Amino acid sequence: MAIAKPEELLLMFLILTTLYGTSISTFYKVGDSAGWSIPGSSDYRSWSSSKTFVVGDTILFQYDQQLHNVLLVHLHDYHSCNVNTPIATYTTGNDSFFIGKHGHYLFICGIPGHCEAGQKLDVRVPNS
């Protein structure tokens, strides 16, 4: 087989990095068209369990900022719906969260009663 020319190697490199980049990073809108709200017929458990999240993905929370917000919380606060000790708080109504490393990311809405009504999201990102 002939030795590839430098420009052919460059082209191969560009194709491979493009394919690699698009296959590993996905942009997810939480809740799809319903966005981030008190869940109706479908809950966020089924939404997240239908996805395979990987490092490099981004998840976007879209909601009416008069009605909701997003808290990144610890596991015990996720389970008890405690809104008082979040790790981070997002309030713009269009909040993107970049998954920079593997882990277990837990989100709840901080408005009283919403987490209890099911506005909570569990995103597991395995060590790849």
Ligand X SMILES: *[C@@H]1O[C@H](CO)[C@@H](O)[C@H](O)[C@H]1NC(C)=O
Residue in the block written with tokens 């809950």: 43
37 neighbors 69 (Cβ within 8 angstroms) = no
Q: Which secondary structure element, helix H or strand E, spans residue 47, and what is its range?
A: helix 44-49
Site string for Cu ion, 16-55 (x = CB under 5 A): ----------------------------------------
User: Cβ closer to ligand X: 91 or 94?
Assistant: 94
Q: Which is nearer to ligand X, 85 or 94 (CB)?
A: 94
- 29 φψ region: left (φ > 0), alpha (ψ -120 to 50), beta (else): beta
**x/- map, 86-105, Cu ion, by CB under 5 A:** --------------------
Assess contact for 98 and 120: CB atoms under 8 A: no
Q: Please select the residue that binds Cu ion; options are 111, 118, 122, 124, rule is CB under 5 A.
A: 111
**Footprint of ligand X on 55-84 (CB under 6 A):** 60
